[in-house]
A and B are shown apart, each in its own frame.
Chain A
Amino acid sequence: MRNVALILRRELASYFATPLAYVFIIIFLVLANAFTFYIGAFYQRGQADLRPFFMFHPWLYLFLIPALTMKLWAEERKSGSIELLMTLPVKVWEAVLGKYLAAWLFTGLALALTFPIWITVNYLGSPDNGVIFASYLGSLLLAGGFLAIGSCMSALTRNQVVAFILGVFACFVLLLAGYPMVLDAFRGWAPQTLIEAIASLSLLTHFQSITRGVLELRDVLYFVMLIGFFLFTTTVAVDLRKAD
């Protein structure tokens, strides 16, 4: 775990050594609030809750998270620093986990900086803070899922733009797995059980059920397994392709 912590710390510091961290946080906060107030009609609804805030998170993450993860492995391979990292006494999974946790912690920080909206809603009315807490947790889990997918896509290529596009696409497909846009591609030839299995993978469905304030074990478990699966795949991909 010592190596994981060391790599996490280095990664996190490198976010703040470049404009990346500041650009990401500012754009995230601006967009999150703009969506809430304009499209989500936060005031006009006249309800003291943060639904209009959280409902846009999947769409914000869809583009911002792959932008954050595209460099995770692609940049290491492009610059050759992966040769340095992978010849140190570090296991591949330690590096994968360290980098992933750094990205997650960073996203968590960006998310935490949205706290003024929580203060606002508590000032304006008396919202159900339990639901808000669950929603924050759901949003963090969703970000975690996207980050794991993005990490995996970044490990598949040395080109960051390709990693970004693959990341957006993969996140989009899993986000909408329960909706016709994705399911129609399978209807007509795939067996019903497969279609139902795909539908149950929908990130959006699980996210929405958490943001309703029902923190069910199966939803949390779904995210944990999703993250675990994609981090495992990342590890395999890095190990196989590091020297290509």
Chain B
Amino acid sequence: MIKTEHLCKRYPAVTAVEDVSFEVRPGEVLGFLGPNGAGKTTTMRMLAGFVTPTSGRARICGHDVEDAPLAARQSVGYLPEGAPCYGEMRVSAFLAFIAELRRLEGARKRARLDYVIERLQLASVLERQIETLSKGFRRRVGLAQAIMHDPPVLILDEPTDGLDPNQKYEVRTLIEEMAHEKIIVISTHILEEVAAVCTRAIIIARGRIVADDTPLQLTSRSRYHNAVSLQLARAEQLETARAALAGLAQVEQVEVTEREARLTALPRAGAMILQEVATLAVQQGLQLKELHLESGRLDEVFRTITA
């Protein structure tokens, strides 16, 4: 379990993290969201034992990161932002170095090395120098060192940043596979990623937690939650459609995108308007190309909360 209480980090010029408290339990995949400079990386660094908190406490599996730093660090697999490595080392030597510092020996060491090499498909680059590898491979080397000792807690700072869509997919699959037995904390800019892999999201802005919820609940805070979006086959019906939709009692507002001949009807709080809109479309003789119910837009929630 990860538990932080009133975690703060102040620098002479700025307060990076202010009063951050949360708990994460096994099986949870926590996504840290926030604008750049919001304090995500600083928070993760405090959990990993790289940055010392100014005040507050953080415990990893019961080990305080300040009082029992080595035990806390041994429970964590950590991928720092940008996956820094010793560039002049060969992949095989680097992984062996990490395994030994993680106190793996003998058969267990060989088994874990084989596992991470196989899992992250590093066999083809084992004898290459890390600095000559592509960004995707370097990130995989970073992930391999993080999971080397099969830690109960994984802290991954932007694990998919700069990867191509296939590599992103692989990393997400890896996270999902490990999710049920471990505690995983990731930070990301990519909002779809949160919906895809996280069971819970914490949004940080200016060093403080501004939201802590499941991705689904966060999405439902969007004003587009349960909105109905329709695209017309004939653009000349746009004005008729807009006026008719605006006339519905349960519709709060209608947004029009002329270029796509698309209308979005936003419901009043809690209202379900899909049926009414569909009926209306038939009555008005609108020719539809598309009609769908929106679940909400995470990016819009994100902007509203962090602005």
Contact = CB atoms under 8 A, between A and B. Distances in A.
Most buried by B among A6, A10, A14, A91: A10
Contacts of A79: 84, 87
B40 to A, nearest CB: 15
Contact of A86 (B49, B71, B103, B129): B49
A242 B49 CA distance: 11
B70 A81 contact: no
A80 B102 CA distance: 20
A17 B50 contact: no
A188 interface: no
A113 to B, nearest CB: 23
A81 B84 contact: yes
Interface residues of B, number: 29
Interface string A1-34: 0010010001001100110000000000000000
16 contacts: A10-B86, A10-B89, A10-B93, A14-B86, A17-B88, A80-B82, A81-B85, A84-B80, A84-B145, A86-B50, A87-B73, A88-B102, A89-B71, A89-B101, A89-B103, A243-B51
A90 interface: yes
Interface residues of A, number: 20
Given A87-B76, A89-B70, A10 B97 contact: yes
Contacts of A196: none
Given A18-B88, A81-B86, A3 B76 contact: no
A83 interface: yes
B255 interface: no
A17 B50 CA distance: 28
Interface of B: 45, 48-51, 70-71, 73-74, 76, 78, 80-82, 84-89, 93, 97-98, 100-103, 129, 145
B127 to A, nearest CB: 12
Contacts of A80: 80-82, 84
Given A243-B45, A243-B50, A243-B51, A88 B98 contact: yes
A89 B70 CA distance: 5
A242 B50 contact: yes
Interface of A: 3, 6, 10, 13-14, 17-18, 79-81, 83-84, 86-91, 242-243
Most buried by A among B76, B87, B102: B87
Contacts of B103: 89
Nearest to A16: B88
A83 B103 CA distance: 19
A87 B86 contact: no
B50 A3 contact: no
Given A13-B89, A83-B45, A242-B50, 13 more contacts: A17-B89, A79-B84, A81-B85, A83-B50, A87-B50, A87-B76, A88-B98, A88-B102, A89-B70, A89-B73, A89-B101, A89-B102, A91-B70
Contacts of A243: 45, 50-51
Nearest to A83: B80
Contacts of A242: 50
Given A6-B101, A88-B102, A89-B73, A83 B84 contact: yes
Most buried by A among B78, B81, B88: B88
Contacts of A83: 45, 50, 80, 84
A90 B86 contact: no
Nearest to B93: A13
A176 to B, nearest CB: 36
Contacts of A84: 78, 80, 84-85, 145
Nearest to B11: A244
A90 B101 contact: yes
Nearest to B94: A10
Contacts of A3: 101
A12 to B, nearest CB: 12
Contacts of B48: 87
A23 to B, nearest CB: 14
Given A3-B101, A84-B145, A243-B45, A14 B73 contact: no
A153 to B, nearest CB: 22
B131 to A, nearest CB: 10
B234 to A, nearest CB: 57
Most buried by A among B76, B88, B100, B101: B101
Contacts of B73: 87-89
Contacts of B93: 10, 13
A238 B97 CA distance: 21
Nearest to B47: A87
Contacts of B84: 79-81, 83-84
Contacts of B78: 84, 87
A3 B98 CA distance: 11
Nearest to A88: B101
A87 B50 CA distance: 6
Nearest to B82: A80
